[in-house]
Structure formats: structure tokens, C-alpha cells
Amino acid sequence: MSSLNLDDFTDLIERPDGGVRRDAEARRERQIVPPGALGRLDELGEWLAAARGDVPVRPVERPRVVLFAGDHGVAGLGVSARPAGGAERLVRAVLEGESPVAVLARRLEVPVRVVDMALDCDPETLPKDVVRHRVRRGSGRIDIEDALTLEEAEAALRAGVAVADEEADSGTDLVVLGDVSVGGTTPAAVLIAALCGTDASVVTGRGGLAIDDLTWMRKCAAIRDALRRARPVLGDQLRLLAAVGGADIAAMTGFLLQCSVRKLPVLLDGVVAAACALVAQRVAFRAPDWWLAGHDSGEPGQAKALDRMALEPLLEQGVRVGEGVGALLALPLVRAAAALAAELPETPEPETPETEKGPEENTE
């Protein structure tokens, strides 16, 4: 029996400061560039001010990319263009600075953290700081069996909470959240379809490497079969994550919830992050107020999830590679919004001319 009470998050999570947001809006109205002329940058600056509790808003100085990694057993059905169990190779490319996210992060001077939750490899082959939160090796095939035991799902969710606390305590002021997985978009689509009440075909996308039609049909069938297993446990989010999620997905859900508790803003990447966010929203309805959707990955499941959470992507560049790349591309936009909100001067108050006085009358 689980000792974790997810309902506690509802009480712990507060909304960003509405009074600070109103102050930020008032300041924006006084600046020399007319309100609305900067488009969504105005809204972004005001959101960030409320999230950080400051007017003028402080700049984003210590962002960090956090990537949760895992292999998914359902990949063995041939639902991905990548080989099953191949996430270790992707993680190594990140750690060695050779992946797209590593290149971008280096240019933007943003550190990258990888958290192995369920890679299908020997943990001795990876750095200790990467594997120390690992829950298991790989996950179950969600079309016919649970991804995790209930105890593993709880351990993974608690690990995500711990990682969020580590980031908040270390001074990270904004997180770019992504995943490094093989097969991860399949459980993500299952979660989204289950929570949105839609059919498998509505949420089945082509993945990061644009799978062919036959692979798409296999993926759609796997999502359909997993949905049958998900629906009976929809009322219990921890059981849902155990049944059709994975250790990386459960950890990302816990991470998002605790970031909201710690008032740490998060930029969401693709469909996997969106699925975790949707589960977290079901746990605590105020949590999405602390998140931004970095980009539109083109995955139909991501669009469905973001629409349900009323989150509008900042960018639309067709980036499907995952690994936090699309969300990292949106980081300069967020930083620009903060800079403009804080540094644009206010319109000077019009000078009031002194009333001219005539010669004083002699009243004697």
C-alpha cells in the first residue's frame, strides 16, 4: 500500500502572486513602448514577474536543462524508429556534448543535468551522479503488463520531487524540462488519451524520427491496448503512472509538482513533458500556473494536452528531436521578455508649469 498522498500537493501549491502581476502590468503601461507593441513578450514578462515575486522582474540568470532518461518496454514492439533499449546511446551523446541539446546548451551557457530513471543498461557504465536516482532497468510492456510496480512508481515520483528540491536549493531559477527515451512518446500518448478521453488514433504521432505508416499502425495498436489497461485506474494517478507510464515519466510528474511547490518556473519540451504535466495537473489544478510550453513539436498528443491545460507554445519550429531542444530554443525569448520588462524606461511624467503670479496687490 502506498504511503504517498498526492492530495497534499493541492494544499502546498499556490498560484503566482496576483498582486505582483498587477504591479507588473501597471509598470508596463508606464513604459515608453506602448503596451501590446511587444506582443507575447509583455505577457511573458508579467508572468515571470508574478512567478518570481518581483517588479521589476529579475533576469533569468541560472537556468538549467533537466532531462529524465529511461527505456520503455513497449519499444520492443517496433513502435519507434530507434532500437529498443537504445536510450543509453542518446544519454552518452548528451554527456559527451555531441547531441543537439548539448550543442545549444553550450552556446547558451546553460548547464545540462541528466537523471537516469530506467535506462536499459548496466548502471556502472554511467557517471554516479547520473544513475543515483535510478528505480529499475527499463519498464514493462504497457500493452500487456504494468510499466512499474506501485512501489516503483512511488519511488520514481519521490525521486522527481528530490531532484526538484536539489535544483531549487542550488539556486536554479528556471528549468528547461525534457526527456531522453526510446519509446517514451507511446506511454505519453496513452496518458494523454486516457486523461482527455480520446481515441488512440487522435494522439498517435510520428515520434522524433518520423516513423513510417506501418510503424505508426503498430504504435496506434499498442496505445489502444494500453488504453484499455489505463481506464480502470484513471481515478488514481499513482496507479495510472505504474500501469502505463514509466519511471522517467513518474519522476517528471513528481518533479513538476515539486517545482510548483517551490515556485520554480518550468519550460516544458515535447509530448512526454506535456503528458507528465497533464498528470500533474490532475493531481494539483494550480500547478500549470508555474509552467510554460516551450514549443509545438507537431505531436498531436502534445497539442491535445496543452489545450487541456490552456498552455500556448512559445515557438513553432517543427523541432521533433526531443531532449529539451525545442524548449531550450524558447529560453532566449523568456530572457528577452524579462530584460525588456525590467530595463525599458518609463515615460517621464509631464511637467506641470508653475502658475505665473502677478504683482502682489497692496491691501493696506
Catalytic residue list = 323
Phi, psi (5° rounding) for residue 235? -80, -10
Pairing between β-strand 266-268 and β-strand 291-293 as defined by DSSP bridges: parallel
Q: CA 250 → CA 19, 240, 338, distances in Å?
A: 34, 10, 31
Question: In 248-280, which positions are buried (b, 16+ CB within 10 angstroms) versus exposed (e)?
Answer: bbbbbbbbbbbbbbbebbbbbbbbbbbbbbbbb
Q: Determine the angle formed by the axes of helices 40-52 and 325-343, rounding to 10 degrees.
A: 90
**Which residues are CB-contacts of 129 (< 8 A; sequence separation ≥ 6)?**
none
Q: Grid coordinates standing for 292?
A: 510554460
Q: CA 91 → CA 102, 148, 206, 350, distances in Å?
A: 10, 22, 21, 59
Q: Could you give the CA distance from residue 189 to residue 192 in angstroms, rounded to a whole number?
A: 5
Q: Could you give the count of Cα atoms lying within 13 Å of 336 in the half-sphere of its Cβ?
A: 11
Is residue 166 classed as helix, strand or coil in its secondary structure?
helix
Q: Could you give the CA distance from residue 311 to residue 315 in angstroms, rounded to a whole number?
A: 12
Is residue 340 classed as helix, strand or coil in its secondary structure?
helix
Q: CA 121 → CA 50, 88, 93, 183, 236, distances in Å?
A: 43, 7, 15, 15, 30
Q: Could you give the CA distance from residue 268 to residue 281 in angstroms, rounded to a whole number?
A: 13
**Which residues are CB-contacts of 80 (< 8 A; sequence separation ≥ 6)?**
182, 183, 185, 186, 207, 209, 211, 215, 219
Q: Grid coordinates standing for 138?
A: 527499463
Q: Grid coordinates standing for 263?
A: 515556485
